[in-house]
């Protein structure tokens, strides 16, 4: 397929058949590359024609395009001159939008619901500075279940340069939930509204001479018809938008016509397109959830047991014995392995959509009513609910369990998805207990402990399976455990990084000992006091450094008058996309890095 340098190249193609053929070629290219590199497949296959239409109409230099989440942008990357072959590889393209790559990307993306608010800032600039061009938001694939999107909509009524393209594919990562999804479905399927709309427009288009003038009144009539059909009118029009749709999201001609009308408008517009997730690839069409995120085809065979799978098994087992356990997810049922739970205990399961803040407050309400809520969430998305953790759980002395999946480095999804900020976040709030199992065999014991705790308790675990586990590791779970006999150097760590510390002990049994932390918040006083016996301490941590456990550990050592040498290695900054092994090495957290650092500093 030819390489595009600029959207201007796309504008040279005016034949609709050529544009449809381009869609076919792009779709095949995406399938080919995602099969090799992994990535978001279904969402990108469903947005090909919409992206072509959008760039045909809004690809001018004065226009700004803002993507929500950003995982639907592969076609956009191709049409703005980027080589998709390197996507999600170290040093290659991001799987999301990134202004580091191209002037056509206005922001780095990865989380949902923020695009309208970001676009309002750009729109305000255009209004104040009297700049030309439109600010176009491409949102959908579940992002409209996110509360932040409605905060943006609520403030958008005067943004006359704003155009929102809502890609309604009836899906997020898991199937859309809630009233908004039902509302969009009602618009999409209401025959009375659709028949009245299209029949009247067809008639007006045939009226000679006066037809154009009458057509200018069609929008007002259209709104009145919607008011009759929906009683209270369109939600979006009541918020100050001119609503166009629903439009076939795979019909380039139809979408371009509507977008051209929107471009001539001097008021905020919402274009509602209806697309099929996974379009053009039958397995993805039939199972869009499964093909939302695809792993590399050349990956090593994955172990059937993973930390996520182990959590799914454990919570089902616990729920069968305790009818107060209630599981919550935020549009990630498959990712956090709650599918079995949702089927076996449907009356005690809730998918709240992309609404992590609501999930925590909802869990607090359940806890106040006597349930034991378990919120399973990726570490990166837990960031969105920090205020609710403090205000609605900790201040109220309520108990919920946070099952924090994808803790630490997670690989190719890049900067926005690394789970490195949950520890500093939780470490800064009072009353939290947090466990970090190092091995699959420790997961069940950690959750058993969680059942007996009175506090908010978090259990954080990484993506994937065990690394190296020596046979001399104790099977029982303690808050901490020392291994080795040397008092010279103590290596401290927790989570899966402990595997590399075990390798260090096997390589330097006379020089080092290791301390395994399982309970990382709060730290044990006994653990601190025993660590003061060592000449040198080296702490390795798969977390952002500022506010980390190693920071807290160092502070407590000083308070207990430790006289030795303390050094720590943790993550400092955002981590770009690469494999987990590459990221661990880059952050000096794998065995070879531990060994090199120890030899250069302490040997």
Could you tell me the fold of the domain covering 307-460?
Rossmann fold (3.40.50)
- pLDDT value, residue 108: 87
All residues at 6 or more sequence positions from 216 whose CB lies less than 8 Å from its CB, including other chains? none
Range with the lowest mean pLDDT among 49-53, 132-136, 491-495, 599-603? 599-603
Q: Is residue 299 predicted with pLDDT exceeding 50?
A: no
- pLDDT value, residue 581: 94
Average pLDDT over residues 220-228: 58
Residues 380, 419: contact at Cβ < 8 Å?
A: yes
Of the candidates 211, 261, 271, the residue with the CA atom closest to the CA atom of residue 241: 271
All residues at 6 or more sequence positions from 19 whose CB lies less than 8 Å from its CB, including other chains? 13, 52, 56, 252
**DSSP letter for each residue of 409-475:** ---TT-TTT-B-SHHHHHHTSTTEEEE--SSGGGHHHHHHHHHH-SSEEEEE--SS------TTS-S
Q: Is residue 590 predicted with pLDDT exceeding 80?
A: yes
Range with the lowest mean pLDDT among 28-42, 177-191, 502-516? 177-191
Average pLDDT over residues 376-394: 97
Please list the alpha-helical segments (H only) found in 520-572: 525-531, 549-559
The length of the chain, given as a count of residues: 603
Average pLDDT over residues 418-438: 96
Cα torsion 397, 402, 408, 410 to 10°: value is: -150
Residues 486, 513: contact at Cβ < 8 Å?
A: yes
- In this predicted model, what pLDDT tens digit does every residue of 330-370 receive, in sequence order? 999 999 999 999 999 999 999 999 999 999 999 999 999 99
Could you tell me the fold of the domain covering 7-294?
Rossmann fold (3.40.50)
- What global pTM score does this model have? 0.85
Q: Which of 284-288, 295-299, 446-450 has the highest mean pLDDT?
A: 446-450
Q: What mean pLDDT is reported for the chain? A: 88
**pLDDT-based confidence at residue 232 (cuts at 50, 70, 90):** very low
Q: Which of 89-103, 300-314, 436-450 has the highest mean pLDDT?
A: 436-450
- In this predicted model, what pLDDT tens digit does every residue of 475-495 receive, in sequence order? 888 999 999 999 999 999 999
Distance from the first to the final alpha carbon of the chain: 56
Nearest-angstrom CA–CA distance, 156 and 133: 17
No. of helices (H) and no. of strands (E), the chain? 26, 19
Q: Is residue 391 predicted with pLDDT exceeding 90?
A: yes
Q: At 39, list the tokens.
A: 């990535």
All residues at 6 or more sequence positions from 497 whose CB lies less than 8 Å from its CB, including other chains? 408, 540, 541, 542, 589
Share of the chain above pLDDT 70, in %: 86
- pLDDT value, residue 3: 60
Average pLDDT over residues 296-300: 55
Residue 591 three-state SS: helix
Strand partners, 327: 349, 374
Between residues 461 and 147, the one the model is more confident about: 461
Q: Which of 143-147, 213-217, 413-417, 580-584 has the highest mean pLDDT?
A: 580-584
Which secondary-structure segment (H or E) carries 499?
helix 498-507
**pLDDT-based confidence at residue 189 (cuts at 50, 70, 90):** very low
- pLDDT value, residue 233: 43
Distance of CA 410 to the CA centre of its chain: 12
Residue 522 three-state SS: coil
**DSSP letter for each residue of 80-111:** TT--GGGTTSTTS--SS--TTT-TT--S---S
Distance of CA 401 to the CA centre of its chain: 20
Nearest-angstrom CA–CA distance, 40 and 38: 7
| CATH 3.30.465.10 at 480-601, yes or no | no
Residue spans of the domains in the chain: they are 7-294, 307-460, 480-601
Q: Is residue 300 predicted with pLDDT exceeding 70?
A: no
Q: Is residue 172 predicted with pLDDT exceeding 50?
A: no
Nearest-angstrom CA–CA distance, 426 and 51: 40
DSSP state of 347: G
Q: Is residue 94 predicted with pLDDT exceeding 80?
A: yes
- In this predicted model, what pLDDT tens digit does every residue of 68-84 receive, in sequence order? 988 889 999 999 989 88
Q: Is residue 188 predicted with pLDDT exceeding 60?
A: no
- pLDDT value, residue 209: 59
Strand partners, 458: 402, 434
Q: Is residue 313 predicted with pLDDT exceeding 60?
A: yes
Task: State the greatest distance between any 2 C-alpha atoms of the chain, in Å, as a whole number.
Answer: 96
Q: At 268, list the tokens.
A: 């905020």
Report long-range pairs for 9-12 (Cβ below 8 Å, ≥24 apart). Answer: 9/79, 10/52, 10/55, 10/56, 10/59, 10/79, 11/56, 11/59
**Fold match flag (7-294 vs 307-460):** yes
**pLDDT-based confidence at residue 61 (cuts at 50, 70, 90):** confident
**pLDDT-based confidence at residue 149 (cuts at 50, 70, 90):** very high
Nearest-angstrom CA–CA distance, 349 and 478: 31
Average pLDDT over residues 560-573: 95
- pLDDT value, residue 501: 96
User: Strand runs (DSSP E) across 235-274, as ranges?
Assistant: 242-248, 269-274
Residues 207, 233: contact at Cβ < 8 Å?
A: no
Q: Is residue 421 predicted with pLDDT exceeding 50?
A: yes
Radius of gyration over alpha carbons of the chain, in Å? 27
- In this predicted model, what pLDDT tens digit does every residue of 241-277 receive, in sequence order? 888 888 899 999 999 999 999 998 889 999 999 998 8
Q: Is residue 309 predicted with pLDDT exceeding 60?
A: yes
Average pLDDT over residues 56-66: 90
């Amino acid at each position: 397929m030819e390489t595009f340098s600029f959207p201007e190249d796309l504008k040279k193609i005016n034949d609709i058949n050529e544009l449809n053929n381009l869609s076919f070629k792009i779709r095949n290219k995406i399938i080919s590359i995602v099969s090799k590199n992994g990535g978001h497949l279904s969402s990108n296959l469903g947005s090909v024609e919409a992206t072509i239409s959008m760039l045909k109409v809004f690809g001018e230099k004065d226009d700004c395009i803002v993507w929500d989440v950003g995982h639907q942008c592969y076609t956009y990357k191709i049409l703005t001159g980027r080589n998709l072959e390197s996507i999600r590889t170290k040093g290659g393209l991001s799987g999301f939008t990134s202004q580091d790559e191209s002037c056509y990307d206005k922001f780095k993306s990865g989380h949902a619901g923020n695009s309208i608010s970001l676009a309002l800032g750009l729109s305000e600039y255009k209004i104040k500075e009297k700049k030309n061009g439109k600010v176009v938001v491409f949102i959908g694939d579940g992002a409209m279940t996110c509360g932040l999107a409605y905060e943006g909509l609520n403030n958008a009524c005067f943004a006359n340069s704003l155009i929102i393209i809502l890609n309604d594919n009836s899906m997020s990562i898991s199937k859309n939930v809630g009233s908004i999804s039902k509302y969009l479905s009602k618009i999409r399927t209401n025959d009375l509204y659709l028949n009245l709309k299209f029949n009247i427009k067809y008639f007006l288009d045939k009226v000679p001479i006066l037809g154009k003038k009458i057509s200018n009144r069609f929008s007002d009539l259209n709104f009145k018809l919607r008011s009759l059909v929906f009683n209270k009118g369109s939600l979006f029009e009541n918020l100050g938008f001119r609503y166009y749709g629903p439009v076939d999201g795979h019909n380039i001609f139809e979408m371009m016509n509507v977008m051209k009308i929107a471009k001539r408008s001097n008021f905020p517009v919402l274009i509602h397109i209806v697309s099929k997730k996974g379009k053009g690839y039958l397995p993805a069409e039939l199972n869009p959830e499964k093909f939302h995120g695809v792993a590399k085809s050349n990956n090593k065979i994955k172990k059937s047991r993973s930390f996520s799978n182990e959590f799914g098994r454990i919570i089902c087992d616990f729920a069968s014995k305790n009818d107060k356990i209630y599981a919550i997810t935020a549009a990630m049922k498959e990712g956090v392995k709650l599918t079995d739970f949702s089927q076996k205990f449907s009356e005690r399961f809730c998918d709240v959509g992309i609404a992590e803040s609501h999930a925590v407050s909802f869990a607090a309400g359940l806890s106040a009513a006597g349930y034991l809520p378990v919120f399973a969430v990726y570490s990166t998305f837990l960031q969105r609910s920090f205020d609710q953790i403090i205000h609605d759980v900790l201040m109220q002395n309520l108990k919920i369990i946070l099952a924090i999946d994808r803790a630490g480095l997670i690989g190719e999804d890049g900067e926005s998805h690394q789970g490195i900020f949950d520890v500093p976040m939780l470490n800064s709030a009072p009353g939290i207990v947090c466990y970090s199992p190092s091995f699959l065999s420790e997961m069940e014991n950690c959750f058993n402990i969680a059942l007996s705790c009175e506090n908010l308790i978090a259990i954080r675990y990484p993506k994937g399976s065990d690394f190296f586990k020596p046979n001399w590791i104790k099977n029982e779970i303690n808050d901490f455990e020392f291994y080795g006999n040397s008092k010279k150097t103590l290596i401290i760590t927790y989570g899966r990084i402990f595997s590399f510390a075990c390798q260090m002990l096997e390589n330097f049994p006379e020089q080092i000992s290791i301390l395994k932390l399982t309970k990382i918040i709060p730290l044990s006083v006994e653990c601190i006091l025993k660590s003061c016996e060592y000449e040198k301490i080296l702490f390795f941590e798969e977390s952002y450094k500022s506010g980390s456990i190693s920071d807290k550990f160092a502070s407590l050592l000083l308070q207990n008058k430790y006289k030795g040498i303390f050094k720590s290695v943790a993550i400092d900054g955002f981590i770009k996309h690469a494999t987990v092994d590459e990221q661990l090495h880059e952050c000096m957290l794998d065995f070879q890095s531990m060994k090199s650092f120890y030899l250069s500093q302490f040997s």
